[in-house]
Amino acid sequence: MRILGIGAFHSDAAAALIDGDRVVAASSEGAFSRLPHDPAFPIRAIRFCLQHGGVVARDLDRVVFYEKPLRKFERVLATQMQAFPRSARSFARSAFAWLGDRLWIKHHIARQLAVEQSRIVFTEQASAAATYAFATSPFEAAAVLVVDDAAEWATTTIGRAGPEGLELLWESRFPHSLGYVASAITQYLGFVPGADEGLVEALGAHGTPCYAGVLGELVPSVGGGFTVCQRSFRFGFDSDRLFDAALVEQLGPARNPGEALLGGASGGTRHADIAASLQVVLEERVLELARATHRRVPVDDLCLSGALARNSRVLARLRGEGPFRRVHSPPVPGKAGAAIGCALYALHADRGTLVRSIGHAIGEPVDDRAEDGASPLPEGVTAPAALLQRLLAGERVAWVRGRMEFGPHSWGHRSLFASARGQLARSALLAAVQHVESFAPCRLALPRAAAAEFVEMDGVLGAPGGPLRLKARDALRDAAPSAIEPDDTVWLHLVDPQDDPDLHSILVAIGEQQGLPALLHADFALRGASIVRSEVEAVDAFRRSALDALVVQSRVYEAAGRRAT
């Protein structure tokens, strides 16, 4: 059975193709359009999936869209009317978009792909997100918690999943949305909502949560769930400006993009304090939701999905203090993951089959065409060996190989690596790709087998991909100080030899030579751009960066002024 899953129109539009019992290809539209978080109908991603799977559109058994458009339109109309007359301008904009094309998505898909309308079906976003989370987990049965920004009506959903399928039990409804509260504060702090929430999380580690009381009152806890004070936020009816003047009255003036972060309590900054306070409120509310989930579904295991599942500190707190013994978060917990999830859901509904092994390197492969300036690796020298040599020499190196990974982060196939030693190693790596925020997060790649020596590993799951934040031990604090956040945690990428033998071998060799088997690891993307997809994009990004070398398959590109290999 061939099923195409499609997600679009909110953020991170994506497509995924299932053939038989395998996800053969998936990609976000932003990888092709070069617009990060591109919400456009993912026609380029669809073309790639079909081409890679060797499938023509008319052979598809099902085309699944990841949400119910009529129900979402009902929500948009209802919330616009509830905000009358403040919603006049936003109504004109959103009604235009809806009446213009979103309502006619079935016709649009049928026309674009030349498939019969009877083959096009629709899932709920929560079902798609929950199915994807469960399918990527190692659990036989689990509770499911989806904490998102917005879907049709549901923003937060509790359910249970098992071999018999998925059952949704409870939902919190728009505009009561934790994801949108996080986005509104992100915008208030001068960052891009829907994209820079990770930066705000990282900024929070440098502050004191002295505004937690104020923010907590805006998102009061109610019987295991929560509500959102609508006086301080506008996201209920306006997708451009998410916070209202009342929030400025409560927290002080908003920060303009690019402005300096202002001084505040305890030597940190006022903006960092607000970010820290938001983090505390999010953690508290998600913990309460997890407890409510456990009361309804009293099992050991939880799958967490949705926008908040990208927050590594929320996950860490849930793992440490939550009622569940094990917590899993999928590699792509946002809207893009739901494009796979809707296809999985439809497959289960039709055939009762739940696909469980979903790789994350399911994007476009590197085409084997060298660009100007490429030098072949010397005879007998493999790419990992060349990379190791350069990393040991203290270089910052980009590595592009194999198929592109699906999701917001690269896990080694379109990545930057640098030695983790030294106080300034992280800022030097991020500055090389034009990041200006000194607090921007960066992962630390460690072999799983050696990780317990450097971080507190209690109860950590084996599933790769999800954000993993753990407490650092003294050995790591001394050896890789720049990877450790002020809250003494580190964002980890645990590498298993069976999943990525090349990267694993590099880490082990570095450990043998330097004592610490770790590397700083970041996405190969210039600031504000998508992760590079092809060799030509990689070379172009490399030329604009301050990196020392780029290794693509069996070729190396040197920074200008360096000798050739």
Which residues, 25 to 44, sit near other proteins by CB under 8 A? 33-35, 38-41
Torsion of CA 302, 303, 309, 315, to 10 degrees: 30
Q: Which of residues 517-536 bind other proteins (CB under 8 A)?
A: 536
Q: Is 173 in the site for other proteins (CB under 8 A)?
A: yes
Q: Which of residues 422-441 bind other proteins (CB under 8 A)?
A: none
> Least distance (Å) from other proteins to the CB of residue 65?
9
Tell me phi and psi for residue 470, to 5 degrees: -130, 160
The answer to whether 328 and 138 have CB atoms below 8 angstroms apart is: yes
Q: Which of 213, 257, 394, 515 binds other proteins (CB under 8 A)?
A: 257
* Closer CB to other proteins, 92 or 114, in the complex: 92
Dist. CA 394–CA 144, nearest whole Å: 44
Q: Determine the 3-state secondary structure of 201 from DSSP.
A: helix
Q: Is 195 in the site for other proteins (CB under 8 A)?
A: no
Q: Which tokens hold the place of 41?
A: 């109908």
The bridge status of strand 489-495 relative to strand 414-419 is unpaired
The bridge status of strand 443-447 relative to strand 489-495 is parallel
Q: Which of residues 335-394 bind other proteins (CB under 8 A)?
A: 346, 349, 372
Task: Please tell me the count of residues contacting other proteins according to CB under 8 A.
Answer: 74
> Least distance (Å) from other proteins to the CB of residue 219?
11
The residues with which 121 forms a beta bridge, in sequence order, are 64
Output DSSP code: residue 87: T
Output DSSP code: residue 472: B
Q: Which of 527, 512, 545, 559 is nearest to 199 (CA)?
A: 527
Q: Which of residues 130-169 bind other proteins (CB under 8 A)?
A: 156-157, 159, 167-169
* Closer CB to other proteins, 79 or 269, in the complex: 79
> Least distance (Å) from other proteins to the CB of residue 224?
9
User: Which residues lie closer than 8 Å to 267 by C-beta, 6 or more apart?
Assistant: none
Q: Which string of x and - marks every residue 211-250 that binds other proteins (by CB under 8 A)?
A: -----------x--xxx------------xx---------
* Closer CB to other proteins, 175 or 412, in the complex: 175
Dist. CA 14–CA 310, nearest whole Å: 17
Q: Is 89 in the site for other proteins (CB under 8 A)?
A: yes
| Integer angstrom CA distances of residue 50 from 37, 63, 355, 379 | 22, 12, 19, 37
Q: Is 254 in the site for other proteins (CB under 8 A)?
A: yes
Q: Which of 234, 255, 294, 310 binds other proteins (CB under 8 A)?
A: 255
| Integer angstrom CA distances of residue 89 from 9, 75, 99, 194, 263 | 20, 17, 15, 21, 36
* Closer CB to other proteins, 241 or 356, in the complex: 241
Output DSSP code: residue 422: S
Q: Is 170 in the site for other proteins (CB under 8 A)?
A: yes
Q: Which of 82, 375, 423, 438 binds other proteins (CB under 8 A)?
A: 82
Stretch binding other proteins (CB under 8 A), from 328-336, 444-452, 473-481, 540-548: 540-548
Q: Is 542 in the site for other proteins (CB under 8 A)?
A: no
The Cβ of residue 165 has, within 10 Å, a number of other Cβ atoms equal to: 15
Q: Which of 148, 171, 201, 485 binds other proteins (CB under 8 A)?
A: 171
Q: Which of 187, 277, 329, 482 binds other proteins (CB under 8 A)?
A: 187
* Closer CB to other proteins, 161 or 420, in the complex: 161
Q: Which tokens hold the place of 79?
A: 């919330």
Q: Which of residues 107-136 bind other proteins (CB under 8 A)?
A: 121-124, 127
> Least distance (Å) from other proteins to the CB of residue 504?
32
Q: Is 481 in the site for other proteins (CB under 8 A)?
A: no
* Closer CB to other proteins, 166 or 551, in the complex: 166
> Least distance (Å) from other proteins to the CB of residue 251?
13
Q: Which of 96, 375, 462, 515 binds other proteins (CB under 8 A)?
A: 96
Q: Is 2 in the site for other proteins (CB under 8 A)?
A: no
Give strand ranges (E) for 373-462.
374-376, 397-400, 414-419, 443-447
Q: Which of 8, 247, 440, 484 binds other proteins (CB under 8 A)?
A: 8
* Closer CB to other proteins, 79 or 415, in the complex: 79
* Cis geometry, peptide bond prior to residue 175 (ω within 30 degrees of 0): yes
Dist. CA 398–CA 549, nearest whole Å: 6
b/e for 136-154, b at 16 or more Cβ within 10 A?
bbebeebbbbbbbbbbbbb
Q: Is 540 in the site for other proteins (CB under 8 A)?
A: yes
Place of tokens 């980009």: 398
- Helix-helix angle 69-82:88-100, to 10 degrees: 170
